Structure 1
Amino acid sequence: MARPLTPDNQTLSRPWTWQDGLIILALIALIFWIVNTAAQFTGKYDSTITIQLSPRVLPSYTAQTLLRMLIAYIISLMFSILYSYIAYYNRTAEKILLPLLDILQSIPVLSFLPGVVLALIALFPGSRLGVELAAIILIYTGMAWNMTFSFYQSLISVPRELREVAKIYRLGWWQQVWTLDLPAGAIGLIWNSVMSVAGGWFFLMAIESFTIGEKTFTLPGLGSYLAEAANQQDYAALAYGLAVLISVIIIVDVLVWRPLIAWGEKFKMEIVEAENVPKSFVLDFLRRSPTLRAFHQNVFSPLWEGLDEQLRPKQPRQFFAPEKAQRSWPITAIILFIFAALVGWGAIAFFRQMFAVNWQDWQRIGLGAVLTTTRVAVALTLSLLWTVPVGVAIGRNPRAAQILQPVVQIAASVPATALFPVLLLTLTRVGGGLEIGSVALMMLGTMWYILFNVIAGAQAIPTELFEAAIVYQLPWWQRWRTLILPGIFPYLITGIITAVGGAWNSSIVSEYVEFQNRTEQTLGLGATISAASVQGDFPLLMAATAVMSLLVVLTNRLVWRPLYRLAETKYQLL
């Protein structure tokens, strides 16, 4: 006689299994890895460090890089949620924080580099911790902005009826955060987290090994390993490094991203459940564990209920209106004061630096701005042509997603600068050189933002709408016009905004390339910033960065921001 299946609510009676032992061993290994790797981040910084290219150092280098990425991602996630909440729920803060976000995402990583590194080195003199914190902060600057834009877009896209329900049931702020806002942004946050980590890998070579003036700062890691292999033209070491990088990306995809994507399906707003949904054997493995279920019921749930009880309003009252919350004058006054102080201090320092830039440099910046803007427009157009149909196909077909998701994640994560010497040599032989190569590399730093946001948007469209399109036998072009494009529109605009910032950021490594012991560059704003950073010309660096930020902000405010508002008002899922 067959033994009946054990219901989920009776799994606590199951005996201890090998699954539980494997989970416990994995947790112990994770804790040991974090503690052992973090111990290497302290001590005296060795400015004469040499990156070894032996495959034996790859496990240690990879572990250090992964820990930097993990810390930077946690900081980025916390920043994204907090920043979006303040911008959404405070009208005055929104007018300041959204333009500031446009500026921050437009500033290239190398423009943050001198100030961040020099400040932290001064704070931790002679210590490796200062350089490590600088690298983590620089990775964070390549991760945070698209996650912030995504979560803010999710907040403004929450149906007004759900806000009304929250008002009727007198939910406190914590209850609304946990039951409405975070679920609404879960799918977008998950896919943009994938993109953020991929963006961190993209700039890793420039972050773990960089030059400021006459000083070179190098940290042992997978990025510096790839950079050293590319500089020495050691193609065997480059192949080893890329193999390890791709292996890490696949492992992280299987253990982290696929379970999160499958788990995120529960937050889709739909009436009819989809037949084909993303699946993850790791998630199923964790759900079947009696030990984890016991921990959830006996430890996590009581702690969570206690926290919920403490944060719940003692006297039910209307905390959130269906529209944005009213102004909180003490918070507003503090924000305005801090903002005014920072703006005043920054303006004084900025104009002092600007007076040191000569007329020839301003002409170079102006011409470079025109050329780089053209390259950004070309890269964005070419990216849109393929990312929208492919993103919709992946988002609407879980079987295709199982195959294509790790492929596009690997392609997005591989630092293109590691492969760029080969690409540049090919283009030099066939003609075009860096003028064409810069557009190609810029696309590699642009198209993934659009692709992952389109995937998230397509995945968030309720299944019943597609069922209705099948019932009414709509042709494919009408489905795109009346369902797919309106459904992905908010996500697409978010992807374009972050993609434009990514394209400008990519210009610093696509217009200025060092390989075969020489420097190749083409006229452009990115090349000006890279050269100024290497030479330690801070006035020129600041002037070029200011022009780049101004171009991005003007484009966002005049073009993309109106489309953002259109997505909020016309294409909400009501």
Structure 2
Amino acid sequence: MHIKKTIVNRKFGIVDIIILLAIASILYLIISSGSLSERSGDTLAISTNISDLPGYVLKSVGRMTAAYILSFIFTIIYGYTAAHNKNAEKVMIPLLDILQSLPVLSFLPAVVLGLIKLFPHSNFGLELSCIILIFTGQAWNMTFSFYHSIKSIPKDFNYAARIFGLNKWQNFKKLQMPVSVIGLVFNSIMSWAGGWFFLMVCEMFTLRGKDFRLPGIGSFLQIAANEQNYRALMWGIAALVFVIVLMYVLIWRPITVWSDKFKMELTQSGEEQHSFVLTFFRRSVIVEFFIDKILKVVFEKVNTAIDQFFIKYYRKPKSRNKVGNGIGKWIFRIIICAIIVYCTANAVLLLKNLSMYELLEVVPAAVYTFLRVISAQIIALMWTVPLGVVIGMNKKAANILQPVIQVVASIPATALFPVILIFFVNKLGGLNIASIVLMLMGTQWYILFNVIAGASAIPEDLKEASTIYGIRGWKKWKTLIIPSIFPYLVTGMVTAAGGCWNASIVSEYVNFGGKVLTTKGLGSLISTATERGNYPMLLLGTIVMCTFVVCINNIVWKRLYALSDDKFKIEL
């Protein structure tokens, strides 16, 4: 029996004209934004002129895109290595937890000063610094998601891959990457939200008393807030919301719909998600030509080259040189130990400059921040889990609520914080409570989107089985929902906790209306130390934060991950 393939001969039409006009508009904005000042560092004045907003937005989106590409590459390499190397996993996952909890400002001095010295006569060093700092707000949750998706692959799937003789590249391409798509998509949305969150810090900051600025929507909002220019602030927020909505419609919604086909299930859901943009692009001759004649050709060549590489080098019997391998491992260990000793010695020398008062100040500050982190986590769990399950398991609810949630989550809390402060300063507990609100606004989405991803990934046949057997209410939560979403929930809680620690630098130390508002905590201590160039205090604050994170990781998250891996893995 021959199946006749239907070929659709598309013609150049209105769809392609719209796409060409859109490309032309983007190119025009790129060219026109080049006219904005490119002077470096503290000599650059950020305009609050509304006419400069499109160029500023485009520059910020460009930095975010570069940081996201870097984050995605890091995610694949780091997550894959941690998932497949047990020895490396013991170090890499706790290290990842520490890295995602470190405030952006902890990376700031080394990154900025180092890159500015490398590129002293141009703005490139500062631009690269900004991209790397945004990367530190984007990469970690994606990496956790990818790592845990690989670890959660059913044993039968891995066994089947071995039976079919798939090499590492084929296994990655046909099994590991498809299984990870849903989690990566939702965490990519959160990564962009995380990037927007820290954009104001990354594009405009003070270091050693020097004011560093880059033209962008983040610096625009910061200047408008400092000058109490509410008109410019509202226009900036409106522009940011417009970009976020546009990105959702043009990028995230189509990708979310596309990712639905990677769900692990034996029966297909009767309800499917739709995206008019995805349908729109599928009707385009230009898009079809780009995919068929460029993307597919490039991918096939890359795929063939990688396949041949693995066939050539990984299917040959390897000669085991135990002596050589042993020497190599010892050399590597010696190098690592030498680096650790060198860094420790320099850290001790730096910390000697601190007074006893400064040393005693850090621990209470860390306790205050820890209590705020716990409070934000508890509040977030109370509403994100039930709502995430509803959105993930009900396509009708998802079609209505998911667009709203994704847009709202992408609006950085730091942009809205000046408005929030108006209500909280001198009222409702002041910055002490406002800081918890900002932590919550910036990190609750990590839990929500991971729960949505987990609920969306529940196989349709399991849902049907629960309906057939009349499993409802708490029993359904206990037997189906919680076990299914638990791995995703743990990932969401880990990244949310790290986000809370990270957010402390902007929630406990606020520059508003020309005044600096602070509340006692590790975040305000680190922010103050950064602005004053007090590197010993910055180092001490970072070390104490790392200590808290490591302790929590060993006491809580490590055990929850083990529980997730042992008991809450879907086996088909």
TM class by shorter chain equals over 0.9
**Does the CA-based 8 Å contact 1:12-1:290 persist in structure 2?**
no
Counterpart check, 1:154 vs 2:144: no
1:277 shift after superposition: 2.5
Q: Tell me how far 1:108 sits from its aligned partner.
A: 0.2
Match of 2:276 among 270, 281, 290: 281
The 5 Å alignment of 1:104-253 reads 104-253=99-248
TM-score normalized with structure 1 length: 0.92
User: What is aligned with 1:90?
Assistant: 85
Gaps of at least 5 residues in structure 2 are: 317-324
Equivalent residue number for residue 319 of structure 2? none
- In structure 2, what is the equivalent of residue 554 of structure 1? 551
1:407 to 399, 404, 426: 404
Among candidates 15, 35, 39, match of residue 19 of structure 1: 15
Find the counterpart in structure 2 of residue 47 from structure 1. Answer: 42
1:498 is the counterpart of 2:498: no
CA deviation after TM superposition for structure 1 residue 519, in Å: 1.3
Structure 1 pair 269–534 and aligned structure 2 pair: CA distance change class (3 A): same
Distance 2:49 2:142 in 1: 36
What residue number does 1:367 align with?
364
Counterpart residue number, 2:322: none
CA contact (8 A) 1:142 1:199 kept: yes
The answer on whether the counterparts of 1:214 and 1:535 sit within 8 Å (CA) in structure 2 is yes
Measured after TM superposition, the shift of residue 85 of structure 1 is: 1.0
- Cα shift readout 1:216-258 (whole Å, capped 9, x = no counterpart): 0011110111111111111111110011011000000000000
Decide which moves more: 79-88 or 89-98.
89-98
Q: Is the 8 A contact 1:111 1:541 kept in 2?
A: yes
> 1:143 aligns to what SS in structure 2?
helix
**Which amino acid is the alignment partner of residue 238 of structure 2?**
A
Q: Determine helix, strand or coil for the equivalent of 1:69.
A: helix
SS at match of 2:43: coil
Q: In structure 2, what is the equivalent of residue 4 of structure 1?
A: none
Residue identity in the other structure for 1:226 = L
Moved more, 257-266 or 284-293: 284-293
Residue 377 of structure 2 is aligned to residue 355 of structure 1: no
> Contact 1:171/1:318 (CA < 8 Å) preserved in 2?
no
Deviation, 1:404, is 2.2
Amino acid at match of 1:97: M
**Alignment identity in percent?**
45
SS in 1 for 2:358: helix
1:527 maps to what in 2?
524
Q: CA deviation at 1:464?
A: 1.3
Which stretch shifts more, 330-339 or 61-70? 330-339
Worse-superposed segment, 40-49 or 273-282: 40-49
Aligned position for 2:419: 422
CA deviation string 1:408-445 (max 9, x = no partner): 23332323233323323322343411111111111112
- Asked if residue 517 in structure 1 is aligned to residue 494 in structure 2, the reply is no
2:471 matched to which residue of 1? 474
TM-score (norm 2): 0.92
TM-aligned CA distance change 1:362 to 1:283, over 3 Å: same
Counterpart Cα distance in 1 of 2:386 and 2:562 = 24
Higher mean C-alpha displacement, 297-306 vs 531-540? 297-306
**Contact 2:412 / 2:442 at 8 angstroms: preserved in 1?**
no
Distance in 2, matches of 1:88 and 1:403, equals 36
Q: 1:329 to 1:400 in 2, by over 3 A?
A: farther
In structure 1, what residue type is equivalent to 2:517? Answer: E
> Could you tell me how far apart the structure 2 residues matched to 1:568 and 1:219 are?
44
Cα gap change, 1:517/1:93 in structure 2, threshold over 3 Å: closer, same or farther?
same
Deviation at 1:316, TM superposition (A): 11
What SS does the corresponding residue of 1:513 show, helix, strand or coil? Answer: strand
1:508 to 505, 508, 516: 505
* Aligned partner of residue 142 in structure 1, secondary structure: helix
What residue number does 2:321 align with? none
Contact 2:529 2:535 in 1 (8 A): yes
Q: Provide the C-alpha distance between the structure 2 equivalents of 1:88 and 1:226, rounded to a whole number of angstroms.
A: 40
Distance (whole Å) between structure 1 residues aligned to residue 303 and residue 515 of structure 2: 60
Give the SS at the match of 1:532: helix
Q: Following the alignment from structure 2 to structure 1, what is the Cα–Cα distance between the partners of residues 430 and 528?
A: 19
- d(CA) in 2 for partners of 1:8 and 1:391? 42
Alpha-carbon distance between aligned partners in 1 of 2:4 and 2:105, rounded to the nearest angstrom: 52
Change (3 A) 1:463 1:31: farther
CA distance in 2 between partners of 1:350 and 1:66 (Å) = 37
- Per the TM alignment, residue 126 of structure 1 is displaced from its structure 2 partner at its CA by 2.9
Letter in 1 for 2:173: W
Given that 2:29 and 2:54 are in contact with CA atoms closer than 8 Å, whether structure 1 keeps it comes out as no
1:450 to 447, 450, 462: 447
What's the counterpart of residue 63 of structure 1? 58
Task: Please give the secondary structure, in 2, of the residue aligned with 1:217.
Answer: strand
Contact preservation (8 Å) 1:167, 1:318: no
Moved more, 441-450 or 382-391: 441-450
Shift of residue 302 of structure 1? Answer: 4.1
Pairwise CA distance, 1:69? 0.5
Q: Which amino acid aligns with 2:415?
A: A
- Cα RMSD after superposing both structures: 2.5
Corresponding residue for residue 463 of structure 1:
460
Unaligned runs of 5+ in 1: 1-6, 320-327
Q: What does the per-residue CA deviation read over 1:457-516, in whole Å, with 9 as the maximum and x for residues that have no partner?
A: 111111111111111111221111111111000000000001110011111111111212
Distance 1:315 1:222, change over 3 A: closer
Amino acid at match of 1:351: V
Q: Tell me the distance in 2 between the aligned counterparts of 1:52 and 1:357.
A: 40
